[in-house]
Structure 1
Amino acid sequence: MVKPRLYITAADLISPAGWGPHVHLDGLLSDRCFLQNEGGFVQGRLPAKVREVLEQSAAEKTLKHQDPLTRLAVLLVRSLAEKSRVAPEFGVIFGSSRGPTHLLESSIIDHHQGKRLPPLTSPTSTASSLPAAVARELGLEGPSLSVSAACSTGLHAVIQAAGSVQMGLAKGMVAGGAEYSNTPYVLEMLQAAKVYADAEGCEYPCRPGAEDRSGMVLSEGAAALVIDSDPWFPPLGELVGWGAATEKSTLTGISADGAVLVKAMQNAMDVAGLKPEDVDLVVGHGAGTKKGDASELAAYRQMFSHDVPIVFHKWMFGHMLGASACASLILGMHHLIQGLVPPHPYRGFGEPERNERRLPQQRHLLVTALGFGGNAAAVIVKNPALSQV
């Protein structure tokens, strides 16, 4: 059996920075940070216009019982379907780290107060409600399933979607992640885990890779893309490599040398038939935590002997947990095509990362992600200009 080639034909994302890749690219190049202080925490909230559309969607017959997380994902894939062919024989893999948080929390409160739960509480509060709603919205008849791997969920969704197409389960897949869990309970949980940023009044509360970083910042958002084995028009990129690994580590992190990330990256390169020197840009996980970033940077030092540019995005819109890695992949494809490395404005004067840079070559993009419990994932995308479709 000849395995089909995999192309990313469309992509879209929503974050505190706004809706659409180009809004995010403009923000990255203009040094804008969209994080804010609210409820005693620095956090990333969706823009008012997006929140308004999200609230209005609750009046729709097919969405009125759904958690805001699921409604957010449905709104995103509606626009995604306008950008690319999404055929009935396609499937969907859509994930989240926390799941339908608002519905779960409110249902538990109602239960403890002795209130009678609505009949649809069970099907709308399960993890599978997310991809099921996406499949119904797009009329998809292929596989429909959820994936959750903490903060690397978005990349795992892409990897599992790629495998589904190559195994012949579907002609194409919609893959992505969403997160809408900025509740007091979740925020306090992350603070208790000692991974949350302590940066009140700071212009850039989340500072991945910087010496003075203090932690992550929770954010809301969604990101998704279409993987097609037979695209009808020029793709955004060709998916050529993927890898994932897990190590025995702490409940919240990975080992100090980042060995699990090295393994995931090497797996991706083996699948793609590439060497480290073939990678021209890395879009990293970069949560902004002290230990997590240190482990990640240690892994890059082991993997790359050349000075490969490394980009982090969470300084601008925070950590969208299950959606972040897919968002990084989407923006990374644009960086590769444009040959532009966006600046990291929180870095010190004289540091090369502080300023915008040009890519010497524009061949391959490597995107990485790390998740609680010692899991790592990596994906490699080839510049579509080098692919013969």
Structure 2
Amino acid sequence: MLKEKISITAIASLSPLGSILEETWRSYQNKEHCFSLVDTNGEKAWVAPLSKSGRILVEKLRASDAKYRKLDDSVLYAMVASRLAVRDSGWKRDAEFGINLGSSRGATKLFEQYHSEFLETGLASTLSSPTTTLGNISSWVSHDLGATGPEISHSITCSTGLHSVLNGVAWINSGMANRFLVGASEAPLTDFTIAQMKALKIYAKAPESNFSSVVERSRSYPCQALNLEKESNSMVLGEGASVACIEKGVVKNALATINGVGYATEILKHNTSISANGLCFQKSMKMALGDLDPSEVDVIVLHAPGTIKGDLSEYNAIKKVFGSKHPLLTTNKWKLGHTFATSGMLNIEMGVLMLQYDKMISVPFLSQKPTEREIKYVMINAVGFGGNAVSILLCRFN
């Protein structure tokens, strides 16, 4: 556990669930998923696009400045979410705080567009390089907010968002900063990205015929995340950004505190593998727990991408660390899909909401024996290609 707790004073997101915390919480209260079927590469595929409210905010920002019209969606998502987080935290614009925002894919849509134009014409657009660099995300957010602290963009696949938190915590603990804006942004709903996931044989299958009703569609869950009895992989892509404001110590307006962080990388046998017992998860969760008795943890928000091996390995790791009487388990990917780098940050948001409302957000197609004790500690997990796991221990702020 950390020697000094870190406060989360605000968290904001754009996701398929909504664009403000209250809207996101309301979305979690129903059992409907956010997926829709789209045509991609001549086939149907499930995807989870931004909510209508989120899309309106993005388009409003895009139209507000001529410079923004050539930016990738991943950059604009991050800018909108960062504005919301800083507003809610009470931080002032033009203040000194660090920024660490990451992405697994970066400017996916824009890069594909520029590359397609190059193949057709043999010429590269003037803006093709500066608008597709990964550093665009943090630099544009810093420019938009007028922040004067360090700015960092990075990518370490699907655990990128939680690695941003790790880095922000490290800067604060080192004494080099007192505040950091941390998070991730992802806009991966492109034909090529979906084709890549299908090539890995991990994407959810689209129905062969149309649904007969909205109810049938909403309750036939394409992504079977955490269903350990599923017979096929069921990952679905979503998009969004999530950003948190973190500060040194325990402050009066904290939504929750970060009491522990953990990380680990395991040696892999091939590019996408993870050990059957999730060794990287075991190490990261134990590190995040520190001296806390595992029985004190009330809920674990799993990475659980909806793949057979991925879900099972993480579950096995939890059993190794927590035993047979493990905490309540949950995930949000059954509802909003896998948002790559942003997924870990949306897991943190989900954990913060459960702590704030003292209410479990369950997976509708799974049954667990509920607990009557208050939710005080929530463990957040994420992992990416390369076996790089991160675990964050959140605590209720009293």
Do the aligned partners of 2:359 and 2:375 also contact (CA within 8 Å) in 1? no
Q: Whole-Å Cα distance in 1 between the matches of residues 254 and 312 of structure 2?
A: 35
Q: 1:115 Cα deviation (Å)?
A: 5.2
Answer yes or no: is 1:215 the counterpart of 2:238: no
- Structure 1 residue 116 displacement after superposition: 3.9
Greater shift after overlay, 53-62 or 151-160?
Answer: 53-62
User: Which residue in 1 is equivalent to 2:387?
Assistant: 374
Write the deviation string for residues 175-202 of structure 1: whole angstroms up to 9, x where unpaired: 0111101101000100001111125256
Instruction: Kindly state the Cα deviation for residue 82 of structure 1 after the two structures are TM-superposed.
Output: 1.4
The 5 A counterparts of 1:80-229 are 80-87=85-92, 88-114=95-121, 116-200=123-207, 203-210=220-227, 211-212=229-230, 214-229=233-248
C-alpha distance in 2 between matches for 1:121 and 1:168 = 38
In structure 1, how many angstroms separate the alpha carbons of the residues matched to 2:18 and 2:77?
A: 13
How far apart are the structure 1 equivalents of 2:31 and 2:80? Answer: 28
Q: CA deviation at 1:28?
A: 2.1
**1:304 maps to which of 307, 318, 322:** 322
SS of aligned partner of 1:117: coil
| Structure-1 separation of matches of 2:372 and 2:174 | 35
Looking at structure 2, the residues matched to 10 and 115 of structure 1 have their Cα atoms a distance apart, in angstroms, of 46
Structure 1 residues 121 and 231: alpha-carbon distance in aligned structure 2, compared to 1, 3 A threshold:
farther
Structure-2 change in CA distance of 1:230 and 1:245 (3 Å)? closer
Q: Which residue of 2 aligns with 1:65?
A: 70
Equivalent position of 1:50 in the other structure = 54
Q: Secondary structure of 1:344's partner?
A: coil
Aligned twin of 1:363: 376
- Separation (CA, whole Å) in 1 of partners of 2:317 and 2:12: 29
Tell me which amino acid in the other structure corresponds to 2:50.
L
The TM-score, its normalising length taken from structure 2, stands at 0.89
Secondary structure in structure 2 of the residue aligned to 1:81: helix
Contact 1:5 1:229 in 2 (8 A): yes
Provide the residue aligned with 2:368 in structure 1: 352
Q: Per-residue deviation at 1:341?
A: 1.3
- Return the alpha-carbon distance in structure 2 between the equivalents of residues 52 and 5 of structure 1: 36
The equivalent of 2:256 in structure 1 is: 237
Give the Å deviation of 1:109: 1.4
Q: Pick which of 280-289 and 24-33 moved more.
A: 24-33
Q: What is the deviation of 1:231? A: 6.7
For these two proteins, the number of residue pairs brought into alignment is 376
- One-letter code of the match for 1:165? I
1:256 and 2:260 matched: no
Cα separation, partners in 2 of 1:231 and 1:366, compared to 1, 3 Å: closer
Residues 267-306 of structure 1 deviation map (CA, whole Å, 9 limit, x = unaligned): 1122xx3231221211111111001001010001101123
Q: Which amino acid aligns with 1:370?
A: V
Alpha-carbon shift at residue 364 of structure 1 (Å): 1.5
Report the more deviating stretch, 2-11 or 217-226: 2-11
For the 8 Å contact 1:14–1:222, the answer to whether it is kept is: yes
CA 1:298–1:43 in 2, change beyond 3 Å: closer, same or farther? same
CA distance in 1, matches of 2:19, 2:243: 12
Query: How far 1:235 moved relative to its partner?
Result: 0.4
Structure 1 residues 72-83: aligned runs within 5 Å: 72-83=77-88
Q: What letter is aligned with 1:151?
A: C
* Secondary structure, counterpart of 1:64 in structure 2: helix
The answer to whether the Cα contact below 8 Å between 1:31 and 1:343 also exists between their aligned partners in 2 is: no
- Aligned Cα RMSD in Å? 1.9
Q: Which amino acid aligns with 1:207?
A: Q
Q: C-alpha distance in 2, partners of 1:5/1:177? A: 22
Which range is displaced more, 80-89 or 364-373?
80-89
Is this contact kept in 1: 2:328–2:368, CA < 8 A? no
Which amino acid in 2 is paired with 1:75? Answer: V
> CA deviation digits over 1:7-35, x for unaligned, max 9?
00000111112212232222222112111
Deviations 1:217-243 (A, max 9, x none): 001111110001267642011111111
Contact 2:114 2:125 in 1 (8 A): no
Percent of aligned pairs with the same residue? 29
TM-score (structure 1 length as normaliser): 0.91
Task: Verify the 8 A CA contact 1:199 1:214 in the aligned structure 2.
Answer: no
Letter matched to residue 390 of structure 2: A
In 2, are the aligned partners of 1:340 and 1:358 still within 8 Å (CA)? Answer: no
Structure 1 CA distance for aligned equivalents of residues 234 and 14 of structure 2: 22
CA contact 2:201–2:233 (8 Å) conserved in 1: no
**8 Å contact from structure 2 (residues 351, 394) kept in 1:** no
Instruction: Find the aligned partners of 1:116 and 1:223 in 2 and give their Cα distance.
Output: 35
Give the match for residue 336 of structure 1.
Answer: 355
In the alignment, is residue 10 of structure 1 matched against residue 30 of structure 2? no
CA contact (8 A) 1:8 1:235 kept: yes
Gaps of 5+ in 1: none
Question: What SS does the corresponding residue of 1:125 show, helix, strand or coil?
Answer: coil
Query: 1:209 aligns to what SS in structure 2?
Result: coil
CA–CA distance in structure 2, aligned partners of residues 48 and 281 of structure 1: 30
Deviations 1:363-389 (A, max 9, x none): 21110011112111100111111xxxx
**What's the offset of the Cα at 1:38?**
0.8
Structure 1 residues 102-138: Cα deviation after superposition (integer angstroms, max 9, x where no partner):
1111111122223543433222211110011111111
